[in-house]
Structure 1
Amino acid sequence: MDMSSMPGPDQDSAPVKRRRILDRFVRDAKGSVAIEFTALALPFSMLVFAIFESCISFAAQQLMSNVTDDVARQFRTGQIKQATLNPQDLRDMICNRLEIVVSTGCPGLFIDLKRYDTFADAAKVRTKFTADNDLDTSDFKIEPGLSMSKNQLRVFYKWPVMTDLLRKSMSNIKDGKTLHFASVTWQNEPFDD
């Protein structure tokens, strides 16, 4: 009998070798941390980006509300008057304070300032949208009233959703943007026109 043809300790059959390699791979835990980290990194990153995106958007909305309140107060008290109002100056005044969280020049900023006869008339104003789900700015004007008039300032900003994975769930207007909105209605004080 020829002993060289019999499998010995160094001559295992192919299936036995594969099983031993697989057994060693299953028992070896050296790479488990890397595999677990890789499996958890994507969902964790998505969660972190969602939190950041929501927080930044909320902060921008709050800032816009504060700026709108402040500008409305200046109209109400007569610091800004109809006779001295330049529409570009009003836009710059609002934009300069928003630029801490938006692009330079505020490309998505829209302003509507009008005088109304009664508060009920101002309350009837609705935000309109175009057929392609964009903000309809066709009737926006900057026409404040004189002293003792009732006015409404509406400020809109088309906020870009930065995280691609959240764009579909967070956007509410076309081009994957969210519409931020602030409004103030007031009656001017009796100042000299």
Structure 2
Amino acid sequence: MLRRFAGDRSGANAVEFALVAAPFFVLLVGLFEICMIFIAMTTLEHGAAEAARRIRTGELQQSGASADSFKALVCGSTFGILDCDDRLKVDVRVFDDFGAAQGDDPVQDGEVNDDDLQFDAGQGNDIVLARVFYEWQIITPVIGAPLSNMSGDRRLLQASVAFRNEPFGD
């Protein structure tokens, strides 16, 4: 009876599939999430470039520039893919030359430090660095730790645009 039980192979495929299925589906969901992160990054870069164009031409400054108006322009160019309410942060600064146009890391203790973020769109011919940050919540449990750069299995996505404003105004 023991020999007959050991030689019985019915159900072996089901057991093998059960052993392989869990890691396969985790990898499949992880791959899908990485693709979504790349799509979100591309969309964020597009939104930052489109909103920065309004600063570069002086349109935003002449209509009353604010961080909220810049944020609304970025969100308007993301095709509704990103949830812009609390997850999107902007930092726009004026610099003396392009070599100095570097921003500090906004992540401190696993969170974005809002106190370090500024909004100064500048005037005509100013050199401006516009940075946009988005907090992406990672949902795949296995890849959450390696992909996250913030606390709570979140990844900070960033898009930057450096440019010289056109000579607008006086």
Q: TM-score, normalised by structure 1?
A: 0.79
Q: CA deviation at 1:73?
A: 1.8
SS of aligned partner of 1:179: strand
Select 1:34's aligned residue among 4, 8, 14: 14
Q: CA deviation at 1:156?
A: 0.7
SS of aligned partner of 2:112: coil
Deviations 1:28-50 (A, max 9, x none): 22212211111110111111011
SS of aligned partner of 1:183: strand
**Gap change, CA 1:53 and 1:140, over 3 Å in 2:** same
Matches of 1:82 and 1:48 in 2, distance apart? 48
**Gap change, CA 1:160 and 1:46, over 3 Å in 2:** same
Residue 145, structure 1, aligned to residue 122, structure 2: yes
Q: What letter corresponds to residue 130 of structure 2 in structure 1?
A: L
Q: What letter corresponds to residue 43 of structure 2 in structure 1?
A: L
Q: CA deviation at 1:82?
A: 4.8
SS of aligned partner of 1:191: coil
Deviations 1:37-67 (A, max 9, x none): 1111011111101111111111111111111
Runs of 5+ in structure 1 lacking a partner? 1-19
SS of aligned partner of 2:129: strand
**Radius of gyration: which is bigger?**
1
Percent identity for Structure 1 against Structure 2: 29
Q: CA deviation at 1:80?
A: 2.4
Residue 45, structure 1, aligned to residue 22, structure 2: no
Deviations 1:133-185 (A, max 9, x none): 32222121211111111111011111111112221111111122111111111
* Residue number in structure 1 paired with 2:36: 56
* Residue number in structure 1 paired with 2:3: 23
* Residue number in structure 1 paired with 2:68: 88
